[in-house]
Amino acid sequence: MYKYINVLIAGWLLSIASMANASLITAPVDHFLFEAGATDTGTNPLTMQNIGGVTFADLTPNGLDGLAAVFNGNALRAQAAGSRPNNVSGDFSVSFWMQTSTTSGSHDGPWYAGKGLVDSERGGVTSDWGISLINNKIAFGIGGRPRDTTIFSSTIVNDNLWHNIVAAWDISTGSMNLFVDGLQSATGVSRSRNQRWGSNNLTLGSISTFATQTASWSNNYKYDGLLADVRIYGQTLDINDAQKLSTLVSVPEPSTLAIFALGMIGLASCRFKKQF
């Protein structure tokens, strides 16, 4: 009898652990799968402009939904019409896949001195933000007074392999985190802890302020490579969330009923063995 009770208790404990570890990630406010060009399929979609002829191709790694956006001196930028060119205000996180072999030169400047990946930089000291490629690493910046803050990944990402990037910011503490392929790659604390209301139009593939520039010098701020599955969340993601996002084929968490069913199967198995 005790054997059967132990099986049921084990199943109950596993179900509690499963619920405790269940993902609390909400649906992204912006989501770009590039299956229909620059269409935003998030919960609060933006209307994007294709500047310079960004193309879309089936070049994503196996198991990843959607297509890849191919950048080469061009950009995707939210239209300026209306009052909402950007969904980020307080807590936020950005997740995307990238593949590149390019670099942006050797310097440790602020993020807006690099090649823009997912960016909302606005000129001057204002409450903006952005993610770029500087040297061969990821730069994540939070703008605003008294001065901008940029952190850099410890992981090299320009090896022409696919990498998952997650950048997260907590407005109340200023905590900044960078995750590369599900692993912690940089941490920091922003000096500014204000709403991101000074941000520019959301831009993919370029620093936002240079997205429409056509002069050759502007290519220093434009990305050469692929982006895929770009997501923006209105919450601060942690390392557990980053690990899930970095997994190409997600495995659903076992439900309470599934765990209970396993326990019942074990109980029935024990009884069957006892009878025969």
pLDDT per residue as tens digits for the range 107-128: 788 999 999 999 999 998 899 9
Strand-pairing partners, residue 75, are 51
Q: Which domain holds residue 49?
A: 23-252
Confirm whether 265 is domain-assigned: no
> How do residues 75-105 score in pLDDT, each as one tens digit?
999 986 555 678 999 999 999 999 999 988 7
133 vs 188: CA distance, rounded Å: 17
pLDDT of residue 80: 67
Share of the chain above pLDDT 70, in %: 79
| Burial (CB count <10 Å: 0-12, 13-18, 19+), residue 213 | middle
Confirm whether 177 is domain-assigned: yes
Residue 270 has phi, psi (to 5 degrees) of: -65, -45
Confirm whether 13 is domain-assigned: no
Confirm whether 14 is domain-assigned: no
Residue 10 has phi, psi (to 5 degrees) of: -60, -40
Confirm whether 150 is domain-assigned: yes
> How do residues 152-191 score in pLDDT, each as one tens digit?
999 999 999 999 999 999 999 999 999 999 999 999 999 9
Confirm whether 16 is domain-assigned: no
- Rounded to 5°, the CA angle 240-246-247 comes to 100
243 vs 185: CA distance, rounded Å: 12
pLDDT, greater one: 10 or 239? 239
Confirm whether 268 is domain-assigned: no
Confirm whether 266 is domain-assigned: no
What is the domain-level CATH number for residue 242? 2.60.120.200
Mean pLDDT of 257-265: 43
DSSP strands (E only) in 126-162:
129-134, 137-142, 149-152
Overall number of domains in the chain = 1
Which residue in 9, 14, 45 sits closest to 29, CA to CA?
45
